[in-house]
C-alpha cells in the first residue's frame, strides 16, 4: 500500500473517480498487494469524512495514512505492537469486569436458609404486621373500612363524654 499511495493519485469516498484517482486499497492492489479488507475502506472514508462524491485525499490525510502504515510495518518487524498490547489490555479489563459482575450476581443469590411461609400462614389472621394489597380496589376497600371504624370509635367517644 505504501508503494501504491506513492505512485497513484489517492481519493476518498469511492473506489475510483474516473480521472485516474483510486482508493488506497486499489492502489495497493495495482502494486502487487493482495488485500480485501473492506473494514479498511470504511475506516478510511470515515476518517477522511468522505461525502457522497469522490475527492482527492488531502496531503494531511495522505501523511497520516503513510505514517500509520509505516508504524504498522515497524511494529510487525520488531514484534512489538502497541495496538496489540492495548487490545490485550482492553480484553483483560473486560474479562475482569465481567468476572466481577458475575461474582456480584452470585453473591446476591446466596441461600440464607430462610423459606417463604406465605402459603402456610396465608389464612391465619394477623400473621404479619403489614398486609400488602395486590390490587388498588382492595386497598381502597380497606381504607373505607378504616374510616368506618374511626367514625364508630368517634361516635362511642362522644357518648362517653356526654
Instruction: Say which residue the cell 512489538 belongs to.
Output: 80
How long a stretch of residues is the chain? Answer: 162
Q: Could you give phi then psi for residue 99, rounded to 5 degrees?
A: -65, -40
pTM to 2 decimal places: 0.46
d(CA 120, CA 96): 44
Is the per-residue pLDDT at 113 higher than 70?
yes
What is the reported pLDDT for 128?
Answer: 61
As a whole number, mean pLDDT of residues 78-102 equals 83
Is the per-residue pLDDT at 22 higher than 60?
yes
Torsion of CA 3, 71, 39, 95, to 10 degrees: 160
- For residue 136, name the pLDDT band (cuts at 50, 70, 90): confident
Count other Cβ atoms within 10 Å, centred on residue 40.
Answer: 15
Amino acid at each position: 500500500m505504501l508503494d501504491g499511495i506513492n505512485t497513484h493519485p489517492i481519493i476518498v469516498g469511492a473506489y475510483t473517480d474516473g480521472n485516474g484517482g483510486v482508493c488506497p486499497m486499489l492502489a495497493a492492489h495495482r502494486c502487487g498487494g493482495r488485500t480485501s479488507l473492506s473494514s479498511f475502506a470504511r475506516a478510511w472514508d470515515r476518517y477522511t469524512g468522505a461525502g457522497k462524491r469522490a475527492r482527492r485525499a488531502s496531503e494531511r490525510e495522505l501523511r497520516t495514512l503513510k505514517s500509520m502504515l509505516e508504524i504498522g510495518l515497524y511494529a510487525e518487524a520488531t514484534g512489538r505492537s502497541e495496538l496489540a498490547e492495548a487490545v490485550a489490555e482492553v480484553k483483560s479489563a473486560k474479562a475482569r469486569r465481567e468476572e466481577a459482575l458475575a461474582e456480584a450476581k452470585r453473591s446476591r443469590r446466596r441461600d440464607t436458609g430462610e423459606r417463604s411461609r406465605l402459603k402456610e400462614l396465608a389464612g391465619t389472621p394477623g400473621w404479619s404486621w403489614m398486609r400488602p394489597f395486590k390490587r388498588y380496589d382492595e386497598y381502597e376497600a380497606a381504607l373505607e373500612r378504616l374510616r368506618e371504624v374511626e367514625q364508630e370509635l368517634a361516635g362511642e367517644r362522644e357518648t362517653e363524654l356526654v
